[in-house]
């Protein structure tokens, strides 16, 4: 079944959607419902997509006022079957806000996001990095997304990352399944442990056309496909989550990421092109002010990018700088002379305030 699923992902989007639903449905038999949270009087029914969507928004964004969250940890390089090698720290900030319409079953979210690469020893944000695999010193690209906004409903939304024909990504494949009509309701997997501990997992695994085209960026590109995945394991208080007078719930999460080399590492022309980056990070939000931001990252942002400590002004849907690869080719000109730079950053997006993107 898994081989057929992989083959189907290379077909048309319509066929891919069908195969995803089929595989998810097949796995539903093995999913245990024993640990699902029980609804309390006046509380949340996590099997109701509306309540589930409300709870998800409260955990990852919060309502009524901006919520500032941070992540920080280490990324490792994997070369073949060798021991993992720590290469740099990975840290950033997300400032988000949400609105929930219970009648319509709609969650609107908006955020500004940043990601930085830090020195393992000092924790300071890197401006240059010595690549131990290529022996080249490269300029570090800091990721800035000034506006990420979208709408989710009571059906699980497809996340379109690449080009036409690329199969979309759905949250939590393997733990969220279609109903008897073949539709995938918005039911993030919540588990209750003890009286007040709620656990929620959030996974997304991508496979899409790599925006960093090897024809224009041969050193930055690692090939035709980009296949990152991110995984969060959240812990929240059930009492906070069910108390609708609270705009947000204090959330803590383990955060892991696996993916191709970052384009700024310039690994595309090396013999290690097919290597993998993996990382373990902390992620958390819900404290007042900027207490969830790593102190050294906060200091850096207050000096260089204070505007990224506030959410975007409105909920206008925008996803054009969703990931590092897509933003990189908007900010960094092609390496090959004469290559037509169609991806260049739009005029309504400010130049990144720091990093390699600021020096172009």
User: Which of these, 142, 117, 139, lies nearest to 130 by C-alpha position?
Assistant: 139
Distance CA 20, CA 24 (A): 6
User: Can you give the C-alpha Rg of the chain in angstroms?
Assistant: 21
Per the DSSP assignment, residues forming a β-bridge with 169 are 159
Residue 310 phi, psi dihedral angles, 5° rounding = -130, 155
C-beta separation of 202 from 192 below 8 A = no
CB-CB neighbours of 84 under 10 Å: 14
Continuous segment of H or E residues that includes residue 295? helix 295-304
C-beta separation of 78 from 258 below 8 A = no
DSSP string for residues in 23-58:
HHHHHGGG---TTPPPPPTTS--TTSHHHHHHHHHH
C-beta separation of 254 from 283 below 8 A = yes
Distance CA 12, CA 322 (A): 23
Structure tokens at 118: 């830090």
Distance CA 274, CA 78 (A): 9
Distance CA 102, CA 51 (A): 8
Per the DSSP assignment, residues forming a β-bridge with 72 are 91, 282
Q: Return the domain boundaries, the chain.
A: 31-359
C-beta separation of 113 from 145 below 8 A = yes
What's this model's pTM, rounded to 2 decimal places?
A: 0.89
The helix-helix angle for 13-27 and 2-9 (nearest 10°) equals: 160
Q: How does pLDDT run along the chain (360 residues), one tens digit per residue?
A: 433 333 333 333 444 444 444 444 444 444 444 467 876 656 899 999 999 999 999 999 999 999 999 999 999 999 999 999 999 999 999 999 999 999 999 999 999 999 999 999 999 999 999 999 999 999 999 999 999 999 999 999 888 888 889 999 999 988 999 989 889 999 999 999 999 999 999 999 999 999 999 999 999 999 999 999 999 999 999 999 999 999 999 999 999 999 999 999 999 999 999 999 999 999 999 999 999 999 999 999 999 999 999 999 999 999 999 999 999 999 999 999 999 999 999 999 999 999 999 998
């Amino acid at each position: 079944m898994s081989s057929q699923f992989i083959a189907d992902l290379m077909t048309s989007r319509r066929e891919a959607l069908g195969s995803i639903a089929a595989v998810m449905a097949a796995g539903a038999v093995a999913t245990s419902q024993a640990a699902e949270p029980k609804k309390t009087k006046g509380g949340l029914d996590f099997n109701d997509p509306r309540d589930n969507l409300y709870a998800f928004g409260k955990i990852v964004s919060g309502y009524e006022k901006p919520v500032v969250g941070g992540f920080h940890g280490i990324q490792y390089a994997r070369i073949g079957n060798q021991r993992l090698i720590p290469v740099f720290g990975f840290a950033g900030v997300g400032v988000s806000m949400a609105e929930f319409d219970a009648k319509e079953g709609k969650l609107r979210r908006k955020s500004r996001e940043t990601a930085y690469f830090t020195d393992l020893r000092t924790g300071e944000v890197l401006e240059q990095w010595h690549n131990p695999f290529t022996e080249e010193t490269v300029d570090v690209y800091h990721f800035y997304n000034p506006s990420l906004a979208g709408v989710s409903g009571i059906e699980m939304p497809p996340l379109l990352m690449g080009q036409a024909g690329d199969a979309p990504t759905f949250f939590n494949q393997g733990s969220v399944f279609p109903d008897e009509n073949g539709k995938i309701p918005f039911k993030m997997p919540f588990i209750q442990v003890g009286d007040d501990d709620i656990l929620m997992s959030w996974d997304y695994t991508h496979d899409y056309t790599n925006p960093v085209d090897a024809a224009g960026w041969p050193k930055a590109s690692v090939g035709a496909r980009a296949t990152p995945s991110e995984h969060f394991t959240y812990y929240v208080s059930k009492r906070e989550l069910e108390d609708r007078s609270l705009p947000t719930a204090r959330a803590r999460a383990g955060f892991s990421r696996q993916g191709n080399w970052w384009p700024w590492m310039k690994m595309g022309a090396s013999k290690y092109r097919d290597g993998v980056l993996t990382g373990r990070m902390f992620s958390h939000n819900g404290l007042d002010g900027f207490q969830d931001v790593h102190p050294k990252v906060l200091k850096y942002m207050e000096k260089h990018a204070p505007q990224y400590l506030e959410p975007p002004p409105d909920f206008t849907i925008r996803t054009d700088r969703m990931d590092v690869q897509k933003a990189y080719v908007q900010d960094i000109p092609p390496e090959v002379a004469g290559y037509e730079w169609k991806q260049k950053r739009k005029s309504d997006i400010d130049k990144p305030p720091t990093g390699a993107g600021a020096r172009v």
